[in-house]
Amino acid sequence: MIIHMSKRKFIIISIIVLLLAVFLIYKIFNNFSVSVSANISNWGLKFNAEGVAPMGNAGKEFLKKYNAYYVGEPDDKCIYLTFDAGFENGNTPNILDTLKAHDVKAAFFLVGHYLEKEPELVKRMVNEGHTVGNHTYHHPDMSLILDKESFNRELTSLEELYKEIIGEDMPKYYRPPQGKFNEENLKMADELGYNTIFWSLAYVDWYKNDQPTKEQAFNKLIPRIHPGAIILLHSTSDTNEQILDELLTKWKALGYTFKTLDDLTR
């Protein structure tokens, strides 16, 4: 009888310990990490409510240690509009026309292939007051690059090509391809004088042969807009080209203004 009761107690205690362990694991993952390890990490967001900035899987204060950003101030009803582009498929001229009509300045994060093939469009971006940021030369998974020399080369080689085209130094804004990064990447970018720019609002717009509808785009980009939003759109998206005029009009109607990355980092 004593042995039987001892086994019963052991089973009960084991179950309690197991439940506590499961609860603690759930809390850790449910609350999202606010720091970054040296391991590979994909930039991610967790939206809690409409009109409120999401939580990033790296906290705002942690990122700021390395001059990295994903959102602006919560009491500043402004938008930082950015575009990523690995190639040109004919949408950018109309996007630039729309930005000019709305007097909105954006940032374009470009790769080496884009600068090689589209120097005149790059010049137009700069001449019309937009920022051209560093999206690396070859668009690799930067979180897999462990040595400083290789990391630096991906950024500095693009800087050199930009200076050949524009005749000026490239602005020190860097966006990790696919949002893949680790803490060491943030340190190395910071040491090169770069501000690393993530985002607080984006949607799946990059599949050339599977573009979202106008309704799908607005369902993501209107309810989730929030003060200080750093928005990532792809200029390769046909949908983005088609909706941009209406999208900017809707955001303005909601009371938002537009600022630049210089305003953000200042």
Q: Show the tokens assigned to 38.
A: 């040296």
Ranges of H-type helices in 142-237: 148-166, 183-191, 214-221
Tell me, yes or no, if 103 is annotated catalytic: no
Gyration radius of the chain over CA positions:
22
Q: Are strands 55-56 and 45-46 parallel, antiparallel or unpaired?
A: antiparallel
Residue written as tokens 């190395």?
188
Give the Cα separation of 228 and 70 in Å (integer): 9
Tell me, yes or no, if 141 is annotated catalytic: no
Under DSSP, the state recorded for 143 is: G
Q: Show the tokens assigned to 223.
A: 């309810």
Q: Pick the catalytic residue from 130, 135, 226, 234.
A: 234
As beta bridge partners, residue 89 has none
Give the Cα separation of 178 and 249 in Å (integer): 28
Q: Pick the catalytic residue from 76, 84, 97, 147.
A: 84
Which residues are catalytically annotated?
Answer: 84, 234
